[in-house]
Chain A
Amino acid sequence: MFTTFIRNKQAPVRGVSAITIALILAIWTVSTNLKWIDPIFLPTPQSVWNAFLELIKNGYKGVPLHTHLINSLYRLFLALFLALLTAVPLGILCGISKYILAIFDPIIEFYRPLPPLAYYALLVLWLGIDDKSKVALLFLSAFAPLFISTVSSVQRVPQNRLNAARSLGATKLKILLYIIFPSCLPDIITGLRTAIGVTYATLVAAEMVAATSGIGWIVLDASKYLRSDVVFVGIILMGGIAILFDGIIRLYQRLQFSWVGKQD
């Protein structure tokens, strides 16, 4: 009964959000169609829509739109995958041993607050202008949030939970795999959400600095030709993809981690 109550309450909340979107669309449509604003600054929704259809049909600069998207997402997910593969095991080790943490902490604490584009120039110099340098840049920006959330999560695993596992016969390795890892998984996924956000922003920036494909590059390139309709398509696509990914992870969290925050 309580859940239906919440669900009923959520419907009007969602409705408010829908009204916001509808209002923005309405103001956009009216103001552009009545020529209050120069279409170079703000194109009409119809022309954005037409640009979108045009991009789907003919691609951008001879390359199909989906290839641009796949290029961008490939860079993003390869970097995230590599970061997950390294940051989580290393974070678990650092969470267990403060000495191991002391080895890596200074490096991570130093590079973490740096704006990624500051060291992107170096990466391009070392790894070339193509995908390698971009994946390395995205990897670095995904690594820090994943690593930090893993370390702090391991440190917060209750001692009694570890004791219980030990007195049930779990060895050190089994405690790592069956107790510490699942205890930390919700925090790791939250860290992954943060990492996706940071990496996504970095991706677009990286493609704007140096690339010949990708959704970020489309936006930059189109702006050079004052094709603000294409710029809008690019921005809306980027936002939509980000919302989609975040939604998938949130759904996974809801289904998988119903126990989080309910322990007494």
Chain B
Amino acid sequence: MYATTSVKTKSETLKNRNTAFIELKNISLYYSNGDHGLPILDGINLQLDENDFVCLLGPSGCGKSSLLNILAGFQKPAAGEVIINNKPHTGPNPSVGVVFQHHNLFPWLTIEKNIEFGLKMQSISKRERKQLVSHYLNLVGLESSAKMLPYQLSGGMKQRAAMARTLATDPQVILMDEPFSALDALTRENMQIHLLEIWKKTKKCIFFITHDVEEALLLGSRILVMNSCPGRIIVDLPNPLLHRAQSVREIKYLKEFNELRHHLISAIRSDFKTAN
């Protein structure tokens, strides 16, 4: 069953190649340090499809987060443009949801008010807001914490609430910047399982940054590797292990796992060697 779904996704991916949902055209970025800025991102071209779960791997400092900031609209690239659904994307808006490394919940609002925030900003009626909030609370399993303030929740719960807040505005794409890296191993595993379930339910395009190769192999339908100085995408492959394991622990027992892991790690390493 898992195999068929993965084949289907792949063929869909191939079909949609010409009409990419999100397109990054020739994105470049420099450290604004004097006139001769150090290049961070150098001519990145990338196409993301509607149901893609893209995992971007790369050594720290390679410009992963800068790329995400540009995709989100927080930062303007020095050159190039981002096109979402055939429209240039110039500033942050609710069609591009962001989940940060730190949960970034508004600390004075209860969990349900946090989830409601984006809906309120879009002037959605009160009745509809209430329905949506309870739907997303349910989706991330936080019904019983609805009236609590963020500080009263555990790290994993906070990150789940942050995901619900982002999902509630029904974005076309969700950007996630190492969202689970601050969590302990057990919680992280639960969150990964949870996120996969959410992705299967909503089929949203997810752009997920991580430095954890195993996490990328478990979650991504497509895996990218970026190198640094300047940042370029050096590996772009569909994930053959997609949907074949339930958790990072299980994925380690798959035959192809070690091979892929070595391949990706050596891709990241090779960059380190050339950089140093």
Contacts and interface: CB of A to CB of B under 8 A. Distances in A.
Contact of B106 (A174, A182, A257, A264): A182
Contact of A258 (B104, B122, B149): B149
Given A160-B102, A167-B96, A169-B94, A259 B108 contact: yes
B149 A163 contact: no
Contacts of B107: 259-260, 262-263
Interface string B78-111: 0000000000000111101110101010111000
Nearest to A161: B104
B104 A160 contact: yes
Interface string A155-191: 0001011011111111100100011001101000000
Contacts of A164: 98, 100, 104, 106
Contacts of B169: 168-169
B93 A161 contact: no
A168 B94 contact: yes
B151 A262 contact: yes
Contact of A263 (B72, B74, B151): B151
A259 B114 CA distance: 14
A112 B117 CA distance: 39
A77 to B, nearest CB: 26
B151 A168 contact: no
Given A164-B98, A182-B108, A263-B107, A169 B121 contact: yes
Nearest to B149: A259
B102 A170 contact: no
B165 interface: yes
A163 B121 contact: no
B102 A168 contact: no
Interface residues of A, number: 25
Given A160-B102, A259-B108, A169 B118 contact: yes
A257 B151 CA distance: 12
A169 B93 CA distance: 5
B151 A167 contact: no
B121 A167 contact: no
Contacts of A183: 108
A161 B106 contact: yes
B104 A259 contact: no
B183 to A, nearest CB: 12
B122 A163 contact: no
Nearest to A260: B107
Given A168-B165, A174-B121, A263-B151, A163 B74 contact: yes
A259 B151 contact: yes
Contacts of B102: 160, 264
A244 B74 CA distance: 47
B118 A259 contact: no
B58 interface: no
Interface string A99-139: 00000000000000000000000000000000000000000
B150 interface: yes
Contacts of A263: 107, 150-151
Contacts of A170: 117, 121
Contacts of B100: 160, 163-164
Contacts of B72: 163, 167
Interface string B109-141: 000000001100110000000000000000000
B229 to A, nearest CB: 25
B73 interface: yes
B105 to A, nearest CB: 8
Contacts of A260: 107
Contact of B93 (A167, A182, A258, A262): A167
16 contacts: A160-B104, A164-B106, A166-B73, A166-B92, A166-B93, A167-B94, A167-B98, A168-B117, A168-B121, A169-B118, A174-B121, A182-B106, A185-B108, A257-B108, A258-B151, A259-B149
